[in-house]
Structure 1
């Protein structure tokens, strides 16, 4: 069974989480992006309902709702869906309202359709409505992805409307308007955890991530934490859900290969060289709250507990001097780059290890899908000098790689690093999809296409590295 939900013949787009206290399950929805080769008889457009009790195994049912991202609430035994639709000639976006008694068959309410006011908000972006009850004001609040009327094109904001009856909405000034992004702040979401409120949104300008802000009050100010993301570039349009005990954040790890943006190279060097698709596989992280109110994430229980069959990994040095004593492998490599090789990577597994560095290495970390040549493959590089983890794929080994990615960094995640501190790694792999967790607090998703069925390894450059407790975990047959 998949670790991360990937529908047949399709990709998962935005997830709309909804925990139903009546069923004790997440009655989630998602936007389905069908693959070009999907059999016509299987294609059903619109929102798809996905019921789950563990955030890993889903039962899927299509609905009759056609539109973009939104939210679902239950009021006095009736379910309310808020979603969005798009007109093309002329272009316009609308917030919509539908109701249901069974979560599958929905009745749209045409008279509740509304768009931006043209005064506070520009007559353009108006989508992804998120509705919740503000107990302090005793009103319903709706957040939307919008653009404010601002002096520059950096006008992406989280719009705010309020209502007494879920039908007629009053426009208010934006809940959050940083005048930073040249596009609407998509998929807005809000939740409270302890004494803090958290505002979540996604944006694809000046970065491509799901971000969060935090405040002691719904009226702000909304503070930006030092690390203001849940994951990296390969985790987007994420929204949160709460089952009464734990908070989760649901995003999608995109696939590659359809050239939807018409940006791929003319010559085919494999999918690693191709641009990201819209949608892919659902990745769910469990949210962790720190003492200062900032957030981290860790694996959900159903994914972590799935990997029970353990294989101990022997590490073989390729370059440099690697020593093993009592199951602990170490390497001193002050004058250059040292590489080692371990076991073949199963199609679906979890790789665990604990790493500690000394000195000032330029980088150290875990290599995936490599062989004795230690060139083609994928590298999770810890770089203390930059306080980041960088993901680099084997395409960097090709001269042609510079034509496609003329950048210093391919993917990265911030991580403050300290000498002699232990870093516990858990990398969950499902075919081409990978998610790294560090110290059960940081997540970093990625994709691996060109290289398969090869080995894992470790490396360190111009510093010392200690590796211990290396295991590959798989599901019991």
Structure 2
């Protein structure tokens, strides 16, 4: 389940056979994007968008198809050898330029249906929602031509261009199917018209458009990939992704009623479970556990020579969410997957001590374990318990001889909780210093911080997965995902891949494990 380096997109790498299925992406030449999970009986179906091979930018990269992974345990996956959906073959087809995000849902007859977004550049990028049905609950084969759904209602309150990412579930209280759709209002401040529209149906065939949007917070350009669910605590959760600040990434809102009002959590998360780079995440129920759901999102590719993030990348590891106090969501690595990693991983050679104490009063100090270059290049599973009596402490990634490196930083607060943040290797400088040192970052960037979570309880420890250049860190019910750029000074062995630091104080790591992942 390792990560693939997007720099390898120039090399032809064939899709592996079923018994060697890559979970994270279909091949090195293709990226995975928006996940569409559904649980049928005891089988997880994870559909996801797949980019055309060797593409980087819009529009070619977004002429996406649908791929499917299946698993019963979140560990062993098989991938359909044929794409489930492909763009239309004629320029006039509504999905000629991409079969975009949607959902899979079982209809009144129990058979699986797919609803998805069709994209057509010749129609000024117009988006429509199409439906295709299967003859069985597991969607073994989807036959027939996809049909544009029938909608009743005015719709003049919305712009035409954004009409996408349908998510459908059966609302038992109302006895109707609900469809959430990403839209923009036709009036209002241009940058803040993004909203989620609601359509209802009794049969999946004909849909009624509600006259008012379900959610219109007046703070975003357009939401993406919405979903809604309830948990046994009777709370309702509206989840969607934001591709711009503030709080970019997949976020959630809470309500006591599926029609809202949906409120922003007050636990310091601002509704974020991760950050900008764990994106378009969606969930399905966890098999055999009604209190939990399983989440899938992607971590974007980064092209170093262009300095650009791309749409699509590697699927993040399976994650679980559950409701904590006051209904706020907590996220962690899926337990079965984590147990599997631990079982099939091995300590590094030479071994790393199970405890580490660092102290530096009035200054900062780094510590780097002795790891061979061969083992540094492997996927790593890092875990530890942290005690910190310092201004800050944490983990250093990809540290070079100049002192540059990324840091996962923990800062204690007066309440006994912590903030957890990821910092880029170099902060932006004011113009004079940038000119003098020839270090320029975009001027709107006024600091090194990438993502921050507040009010974190660190008592249950920290778990970090390093898959190639992808970091996925978990602590206190939240996570931070990121893709590191390739080291600029040569092979991985010329940088220190991991280390620890303490700033003005002391820290103690217990139950410290750094394992090389075999799978």
Q: TM-score range by the shorter chain?
A: 0.7 to 0.9
Question: After alignment, is 404-413 or 199-208 more displaced?
Answer: 404-413
| Distance change (3 Å), C-alpha of 1:53 and 1:164 | same
Tell me which stretches of 4 or more aligned residues in structure 1 moved more than 6 Å.
Answer: 312-316
Query: Is the 8 Å Cα contact of residues 152 and 208 (structure 2) preserved in structure 1?
Result: no
Counterpart of 1:186 (choices 208, 224, 229) is 224
CA drift of 1:376 comes to 3.4
Deviates more, 1:460-469 or 1:276-285: 460-469
Cα 1:68–1:400, aligned 2, differ >3 Å: closer, same or farther? farther
For 1:382, the equivalent position in structure 2 comes to: 410
| Equivalent in 217, 234, 237 of residue 280 of structure 2 | 237
The 8 Å contact of residues 30 and 52 in structure 2, kept in 1 or not, is answered as yes
Specify the SS of the correspondent of 1:95: strand
Q: Which residue of 2 aligns with 1:225?
A: 265
1-side partners of 2:386 and 2:402: how far apart? 20
Question: 1:371-410 residue pairs with structure 2 within 5 A?
Answer: 373=401, 375-384=403-412, 388-394=419-425, 399=437, 401-403=439-441, 406-410=445-449
When the two structures are superposed, what TM-score results if normalisation uses the length of structure 1? 0.84
**In 1, Cα distance between equivalents of 2:261 and 2:133:** 34
1:57 positional shift: 3.7
Gaps of 5+ in 1: 39-43, 258-269, 317-325
Shift of 1:455: 4.3
- 2:40 maps to what in 1? 20
8 Å CA contact 2:200–2:209 kept in 1: the answer is yes
Q: 1:211 Cα deviation (Å)?
A: 0.7
Asked if structure 2 preserves the Cα contact closer than 8 Å seen for 1:64 and 1:106, the reply is no
Q: Contact 2:51 / 2:65 at 8 angstroms: preserved in 1?
A: no
In 2, the alpha carbon distance for the partners of 1:115 and 1:86 equals: 21
Alpha carbon RMSD of aligned pairs, Å?
A: 3.0
Residue 252 (structure 1) shift: 0.4
Match of 1:11 in 2: 31
Call closer, same or farther: CA 1:456–1:116 in 2, change over 3 Å: farther
In 1, are the aligned partners of 2:235 and 2:254 still within 8 Å (CA)? Answer: yes
Contact 2:111 2:134 in 1 (8 A): yes
| Residues in 2 aligned to 1:289 and 1:247: alpha-carbon distance in whole angstroms | 10
1:352, distance to aligned residue in structure 2 (A): 1.3
The one of 317, 334, 340 aligned to 1:300: 334
Deviates more, 1:26-35 or 1:196-205: 26-35
Residue aligning to 2:366: 339
Range with greater deviation from structure 2 (142-151 or 51-60) = 51-60
Corresponding residue number in structure 2 for 1:364: 393
Q: 1:382 to 1:248 in 2, by over 3 A?
A: same
Native 8 Å contact 1:343 1:455 kept in 2: no
Q: Identify which of 124, 132, 144 aligns with 1:98.
A: 132
Q: Offset at 1:188?
A: 0.8
SS at match of 2:250: strand
1:77 aligns with 2:110: yes
Deviates more, 1:28-37 or 1:378-387: 378-387
Between the aligned partners of 2:206 and 2:512, the Cα distance in structure 1 is: 58
Tell me how far apart the structure 2 counterparts of residues 402 and 467 of structure 1 sit (CA, whole Å).
Answer: 36
Does 2:464 match 1:448? no
Match of 1:58 in 2: 77
CA contact (8 A) 1:432 1:448 kept: yes
The 5-angstrom pairing of residues 26-175 of structure 1 reads 26-36=44-54, 46-61=65-80, 62-66=83-87, 67-75=99-107, 76-91=109-124, 92-101=126-135, 102-110=139-147, 112=149, 117-153=154-190, 154-172=192-210, 173-175=212-214
Residues 1:89 and 1:311: Cα distance change in structure 2 (over 3 Å): closer
Give the Cα separation in 1 of the matches to 2:259 and 2:186: 20
1:6-63 Cα distance to aligned partner (Å, 9 max, x none):
2212110101111112xx211221110134279xxxxx95211221223344322212
Q: Is the 8 A contact 1:185 1:202 kept in 2?
A: yes
SS in 1 for 2:441: helix
CA displacement at 1:430 relative to structure 2? 0.9
Q: Is the 8 A contact 1:96 1:114 kept in 2?
A: no
**Given that residues 307 and 476 in structure 1 are in contact (C-alpha distance below 8 angstroms), is that contact kept between their aligned partners in structure 2?**
no
Per-residue deviation, residues 91-143 of structure 1 (Å, max 9, x unmatched) = 22111111112444343353525598442322221001111111111111110
Counterpart residue number, 1:424: 461
Higher strand share: 1
1:262 corresponds to: none
Confirm or deny: 8 A CA contact 1:378 1:392 kept in the other structure: yes
